[in-house]
Amino acid sequence: MVSRSCRICSIVVLVLQFLETILKQNYFQYYGQLCLPQQGIAMGSPISSITEEICIQFLEELYVKQWVDSKQILYYKRYVDDILIIYNQNNRNQQDILNHANSIDKHLQFKLSTEENNLINYLDLSICRNNSNVELGI
């Protein structure tokens, strides 16, 4: 009888083989010519959003969880590729956080939107900070 862990390993290997096959057949059309990306996945590919989500969740588990647990950042929320981070300005500075995030992988680069006049936009929300509370506006 095959053990449960052995069956799970077999399934994982099979899924990885399927994924490798799909990623190797990652063609796209550019000006009528078929192309294969040198790295990554072609934009608009049916598999691109799924693989992006898997990769980002992996990086969040590996890095962001550690930053939140150690209080380097106080709050982290992500919707697809938009991220909101709240941090203590007395302990961290925004450039350090950005540099640290951008050092994770050379192919993944973040850009910074900064708060101006205690206001920042995230998705369709305007987040306004004052001394005693935070106000949300649409």
pLDDT mean over 106-132: 89
Strand partners, 78: 83
Q: Is the pLDDT of residue 2 over 70?
A: no
Query: Which two tokens mark 69?
Result: 């647990």
Percent of the chain residues past pLDDT 90, beyond the cut:
30
Q: What is the pLDDT of residues 106-115, one digit of tens each?
A: 888 899 888 8
Q: For the chain, what are the domain ranges? A: 45-138
The CA-based dihedral angle spanning residues 77, 82, 58, 43, taken in that order and rounded to the nearest 10 degrees: 160
Query: Which two tokens mark 80?
Result: 């697809």
Q: Is the pLDDT of residue 3 over 80?
A: no
Q: What is the DSSP letter of 119?
A: E
In 3D space, the residue among 22, 31, 27 whose CA is nearest the CA of residue 50 turns out to be 22
CB 102 within 8 Å of CB 110: yes
More confident call, 48 vs 102: 102
